[in-house]
A and B are shown apart, each in its own frame.
Chain A
Amino acid sequence: MLSTRDIVHIALFAAIMAALGLMPPVPVGFVPVPITAQSMGVMLAGAILGAKRGALAIVLFLALVAIGLPLLSGGRGGLGVFFGPTAGFLVSWPIGAFVTGWLTERFWKRLNFGYLLAACAAGGIFVVYVIGIIGLSLIAGLPLEKAAAGSITFIPGDLIKVVIAAFVAKTVNRSYPVIRA
């Protein structure tokens, strides 16, 4: 059952996802792919709101994209993004947020930077890549290993996002804890 507080948290975090998409990508010296803040938002949703609310916030955000709002980074949006070869990565986001949130809740009593890193990596990288690669292989008709080989070139950039997300989540959870608050 969702309380009014849960509803407001879910809605506002979906709006945070949109705002993160408007932040200009930050180029990082040694990685060719610039950091877009949005996929970091997936880990943050889980690590700050917890499994259920975090996943629902991302579902709500994707619903806003699907109904035609250009909220994905780079101003993309609409139903079209859910039918292209990279749709699996988008669909994986709520599940990734759920896993990060679930782990964060499990670790809550002894939560430190290391546990947050693990939770963010499990949800934000492992889950997202497994589902994304399966989707890519199905939609683009590629063998799994080729789809995987093409996708893992993005992992270095995402590892940086994991570190930033864990740091942001740690700081926010210390100053304004939402999970079990």
Chain B
Amino acid sequence: MLGLYIDRNSAIHALAPGVKMLALALSALALIAVDNWRVLAAVLTAVLGLFAVARLPAREVVAQLRPVLFLALFFFAVHALLVSWQSGLVTVLRFTILVSLAVGITLTTRVSHMVDALESGLRPLRFIGVNPAKISLMISLAIRFVPLLVDLVREIRAAQQARGLERSVTAVAVPLIVKTLRMASVLTDAIEARGYDPD
């Protein structure tokens, strides 16, 4: 499955996804307490250093960080005009650090490992009636159907193009949804015919 993951041999890649997520959550909590922009700038430099430790290609990292950098510049300008440049720097550095850490986790963790982590993270919810088997089925069905529906969209667009309707959102969305709902009904029968019973 095509994800944002970049395969490298590094200590950060080897960390368990749960550990990385915990580190992210703790950083988020800790950062609320810091309101000195010098400290935050040092932290951001350290976080960017982690990308080097993870041996990620600079081009990919920049591509992933570009949106948050634009937002950071924009909000810094807004803050500098409305409040002060110091408070702007603190706010902008805070979210840039968190986004960078989160991007780092995404780039260094396989989608399949994230799915495993998600499933084991949800296991305790069993006691409030959440069935992990059902969640696993939902995740794998959705992942399986994304490429199929992407092809379906392409097909429908080609068909509507022949009718001069390729710019109409409705002419693509309606057949896409109706066809998918029909597929869902066939798929439900197929799953139940195989004796699927998670309860």
Residues of A within 8 A of B (CB): 1-2, 4-5, 7-16, 18-20, 22-23, 26, 35, 37, 40, 44, 48, 60-61, 63-64, 66-71, 76-80, 82-86, 139-143, 146, 150, 164, 167-168, 171-172, 175-176, 178
Query: How many residue pairs at the A-B interface have CB separations less than 8 Å?
Result: 196
When A and B form their complex, which 7 residue pairs have the shortest distance between CB atoms, in order from nearest?
A78-B106, A11-B141, A67-B114, A79-B102, A15-B145, A141-B91, A19-B149
Contacts of B64 in A (CB 8 A): 78, 80
**Min CB–CB distance B156 → chain A (angstroms):** 10
- Minimum CB–CB distance for A17 against chain B, Å: 9
Contacts of B87 in A (CB 8 A): 141
Across-interface contacts of B173 in A (CB, < 8 A): 20, 37, 40, 44, 164, 168
What residues of A have a CB within 8 angstroms of the CB of B167 in the complex?
26
Q: Is the CB of A16 within 8 A of B102?
A: no
Classify the secondary structure of A's interface with B: helix
Residues of A within 8 A of B152 (CB): 19
Q: Tell me if B188 and A84 are in contact (CB < 8 A).
A: no
Please name all residues of chain A whose beta carbon is closer than 8 Å to the beta carbon of B110 when the two chains form the complex. Answer: 68
Check A12/B99 contact, CB under 8 A, given A7-B141, A171-B174.
no
- A interface footprint on B61-85 (CB within 8 Å = 1, 0 otherwise): 0001001100100010011001100
Q: How many residues of B contact A (CB 8 A)?
A: 73
CB distance from B126 to the nearest CB of A (A): 14
> How many angstroms from the CA of A143 to the CA of B181 in the assembled complex?
44
- Judge whether A64 and B142 touch: CB under 8 Å: yes
State which of B100, B138, B181 has its C-beta within 8 Å of the C-beta of A7. B138
A175 contact from B83, B172, B178, B184, Cβ within 8 A: B178
Given A5, A18, A64, which contacts B150 in the complex, CB threshold below 8 Å? A18
A85 and B71 contact, Cβ closer than 8 Å, known pairs A8-B141, A139-B95, A168-B174: yes
Any A CB within 8 A of the CB of B139: yes
Asked if A83 and B67 make an inter-chain contact with CB atoms under 8 angstroms apart, the answer reads no
A59, chain B: closest CB distance, angstroms: 10
Contact partner, B111, options A20, A37, A69, A175, Cβ 8 Å = A69
B187 contacts partner chain A, Cβ-Cβ < 8 Å: yes
